[in-house]
Amino acid sequence: MKSRFIKTAVLLLCAAVFISCSAKDGQKPKQPQEGKFNIAVSSYVPYTLAKSVLGNAANLTLLIPPGTEAHAFEPSPKTIKEVKQAQIFFYTSNHLEPWALKIDPRAIMLTQNLPQVLPGDPHVWMSFDNAETMAKNLADSVIKTRPVLQAEIKQNLASFSDEIKTLKQAYFQVMPTCKNRTIYHVGHLAFGYIAHNYNLKFKALISADMDQEPSAKEIAEIVKAIKENEVKYIFSEEQLNPALAHTIAEETGAEILMLNTIEGITKEEFADGKTYQQLMLDNLKNIAVGLDCKG
């Protein structure tokens, strides 16, 4: 038993080491540049995958600015201009970005051909296998447009796959050890794939599209469940107004831990160059604390 816990700790340490070295370049939102290979990306999901796969081979323009709620984003004339200046425009899905094809019929959807295991949850990148497929879809599209980049991109893609493999091992080591099996989330339905893949229950207060505020009855029900089950930690998101989470925490005595959906990111996280790999490791660390997991 002790050796298993040591192994888990070492595994997480290794994950932290390689992820901390990934793509931290003090990123700032870039504008399309004349004569450069310009790629526009809708949200932070395709942005961070593109950074891992392309490195500095292209000039990336993030359309949904850091600190902006991705679900509420509406393209502006500036957005349309940035897309027109790009050779390729990647977006996540028609569900999350219904405006993408309207401003560029040639836009490439990264979630095409992915299995919809959870039809009510469009946050498919929360599955590591899906994230790998999305990264490969992006790589294949860029190589088709710029064959000269093939060797560099394939090398980057292999490194990304190795990092994802290590993250998967860390999750599989930690998740079965969790004493508590339910994530009480004062946020939207964005972590269903984590719950599905690791045999957890996931209770969210807000719908997948964040288009409806929770009712007083729904809030009362989750407060009751938290109290009855003596839950010590609840979860929330950086992009949400913290008032509701703080109210529930005060009512129940639970502490708040953060989970990151990756589709939206704070200005500070963007400035730090936080990658998909780093953010998913952060999620694992907070889940391990919140669900009383070993390691």
- Between 17-31, 202-216, 258-272, the lowest mean confidence (pLDDT) is in 17-31
Q: How many domains does the chain have?
A: 2
**Residue span of the structural domain in which 108 resides:** 2-172
Quickly state the pLDDT bin for 247 (edges 50, 70, 90).
very high
pLDDT above 60: residue 26: no
Q: Which of 118, 145, 172 finishes a domain?
A: 172
186 in the same domain as 165: no
In a domain, 30, yes or no: yes
Average pLDDT over residues 22-45: 65
What percent of the chain stands above pLDDT 90?
Answer: 71
**Position with higher pLDDT, 14 vs 246:** 246
pLDDT above 50: residue 15: no
254 in the same domain as 125: no
For residue 178, the 8-state DSSP code is -
155 in the same domain as 20: yes
**Position with higher pLDDT, 22 vs 95:** 95
214: left (phi over 0), alpha (psi -120 to 50) or beta: beta
In a domain, 275, yes or no: yes
How crowded is residue 213: how many other Cβ atoms within 10 Å of its Cβ? 12
pLDDT above 60: residue 67: yes
Q: What's the pLDDT score for residue 13?
A: 46
What's the pTM value of the predicted model, to 2 decimals? 0.85
Cα gap 77→51, rounded to integer Å: 25
- CA 106 to chain centroid, in Å, comes to 25
Quickly state the pLDDT bin for 117 (edges 50, 70, 90).
confident
Q: What's the pLDDT score for residue 295?
A: 66
Q: Which of 145, 172, 199 finishes a domain?
A: 172
Quickly state the pLDDT bin for 284 (edges 50, 70, 90).
very high
Record the tokens describing residue 271, joined without a space.
């400035």
Q: What's the pLDDT score for residue 16?
A: 43
Q: What's the pLDDT score for residue 173?
A: 96
Cα gap 34→11, rounded to integer Å: 44
Quickly state the pLDDT bin for 51 (edges 50, 70, 90).
very high
In a domain, 114, yes or no: yes
Record the tokens describing residue 174, joined without a space.
């930690």
Helix ranges (H only) for the chain are 2-20, 44-54, 77-84, 100-103, 128-145, 150-174, 192-197, 216-228, 243-252, 267-271, 276-290
pLDDT above 60: residue 7: no
195 in the same domain as 158: no
- CA 74 to chain centroid, in Å, comes to 20
Tell me the average pLDDT of the chain: 87
180 in the same domain as 129: no
CATH number, domain with residue 278: 3.40.50.1980
166 in the same domain as 69: yes
What percent of the chain stands above pLDDT 70?
Answer: 86
Q: Which of 172, 204, 223 finishes a domain?
A: 172
In a domain, 295, yes or no: no
24 in the same domain as 110: yes
In a domain, 32, yes or no: yes
122 in the same domain as 32: yes
In a domain, 82, yes or no: yes
Quickly state the pLDDT bin for 248 (edges 50, 70, 90).
very high
- Mind listing the pLDDT tens digit for each residue in 82-112? 999 999 999 999 999 999 999 999 999 999 8
pLDDT above 60: residue 29: no
Average pLDDT over residues 246-257: 96
202 in the same domain as 156: no
191 in the same domain as 93: no
157 in the same domain as 236: no
Question: CA-CA distances (angstroms) from residue 139 to 13, 88, 147, 158?
Answer: 29, 12, 11, 11
In a domain, 73, yes or no: yes
189 in the same domain as 100: no
Quickly state the pLDDT bin for 116 (edges 50, 70, 90).
confident
